[in-house]
Chain A
């Protein structure tokens, strides 16, 4: 089981089983849809923005444990953040799961989200963790849909193939 602990940690399993902020937000003034056409993961992020601050954020959707836990923890992480802070967190999270940010060596605001660092060792699963964040980002920027289709070539796949 030790090899698996990196990815399927208790916290992730817990958020998968009992996702937080897992409902439609009636008061939302921003929504975005995220879709991964490769695996069928789909989620909607609801956001209430007020004076440049994320007052409330929630999600509904279907997906694997990684995507569900990532969405759940994303909502906890960005609630109460300013737009700038949420953007920064999105950027740090994205760089962490794609291996561009060493979360232990470089300063960052990731905190509990570091639990997803292990996903970079599973190239096929990086998009599962990042889809909720891309969707949140789309809502934040007032875009309608996010998809993992246009995130560029998955270079991490190529890098470990040998």
Chain B
């Protein structure tokens, strides 16, 4: 394993994290569920939206709503400027070289499918190989299976150990001259593992193989610098980083995006159209057919503004404290097993309880006002690795409190009481 890549940087965190002040930014948190205060611990599925994002979307709908890029009129220009402004914010947020390398998509699923159709179907042929990891979310696995099936290519899998860490030596052994693409998650949604993606990129690049990083769970927690990672693609879902659903980004290196085929055909993505043939627009427009989710993407820009206004190192330190505390307390309960014990984890706590199905855990926690996710987390191969049908997963954001972690711990104990 590698130890050089320190992904969790909490040093330099300034003053103590004022979680109560931060909570005031999230109106949704101030409600009761089943007579109990809402304890929202399903952040890895969808994170909540701060007021400035809500207000920005609302302002767009009240004052700027119109179609982008086409109208010469005032509103269209305002909408276009807000939409392209959001792209510029994304570019700075992930440190892309140019804004045109940031394609707006609905989320990681669309981003991966875009690369599969645009890059995979053009450059992967019979006998070639595509590498994924054992802990991929279905969104970064199923599209590659579909491609391999269509092309007669082979899907190779980087295995993981029982802690939930990828075996990089095995990865090296998988790489060869037939490898056309490596697709790996930055952070596992099911286990919390932070993967050494910079190292993975470096090893793949030695053989000239491009790497796609699924950043759905990375971008909400970690500082992302696509130039430092040197990844070829990086995919983000807005709704997991405090923005509305329907927002998201596919970052791709310009030279790759330019040589790819378009994905969806239609309006906005063309240069000229005749019945004989069409020519395509330059990036990013080439990949943004049809009217996009303008309000949502502008909301993503506002979410980035919000994150930039936080002490992100302190936010991460707070999440890590919650994770460490909840892990220690929950794992001490008899009959509980933590699934995912990587050395470097984002704030995801997945667990199973002997003889009790995670859905029953989820329902009983819901009655306590606690929102967690129970199921296979769209990562069935991960469940198969650990020999469980499903897990219960609590995932923390920087607005969660220690008291909420205590509620979780007490509720898990209650589940065990109910089932005797």
Give A residues with C-beta under 8 Å from B. Answer: 1, 3-4, 7-8, 13, 16-17, 38-40, 62-66, 122, 124-125, 128
Contacts and interface: CB of A to CB of B under 8 A. Distances in A.
Contacts of A17: 355
Contact of A8 (B374, B375, B376, B418): B418
9 contacts: A1-B418, A3-B367, A4-B364, A7-B363, A39-B390, A40-B375, A40-B380, A40-B389, A65-B356
Nearest to A63: B357
A64 B360 contact: yes
A16 B359 CA distance: 13
Contacts of A125: 359, 363
A8 B356 CA distance: 12
B419 interface: yes
B309 interface: no
B34 A40 contact: no
Contacts of A66: 359-360
Contacts of A63: 357
Interface string B369-413: 000001110001001000001100000000000000000000000
A128 B359 contact: yes
Nearest to B358: A64
Among A17, A39, A122, A128: residue with most chain B CB under 10 A: A39
B12 interface: no
Interface of B: 34, 355-360, 363-364, 367, 374-376, 380, 383, 389-390, 418-420
B359 to A, nearest CB: 4
Among A8, A63, A64: residue with most chain B CB under 10 A: A64
Contacts, number: 45
Contacts of B367: 3-4
Contacts of A122: 363
Contact of A62 (B375, B376, B389): B389
What are the 3 closest A-B residue pairs judged by CB atoms, nearest first? A64-B357, A64-B359, A65-B360
Nearest to B417: A1
Contacts of B359: 39, 64, 66, 125, 128
B392 to A, nearest CB: 11
A39 B363 contact: no
A17 B418 CA distance: 12
B360 A8 contact: yes
Nearest to B414: A1
Contacts of A1: 418
B420 A40 contact: no
Nearest to A3: B367
Among B34, B364, B375: residue with most chain A CB under 10 A: B364
Contact of A38 (B34, B355, B364, B375): B375
A65 to B, nearest CB: 5
Contacts of A39: 359, 374-376, 390
A13 B420 contact: yes
A38 B367 CA distance: 21
A149 to B, nearest CB: 15
Nearest to B380: A40
B79 to A, nearest CB: 30
A13 B357 CA distance: 12
Nearest to A62: B389
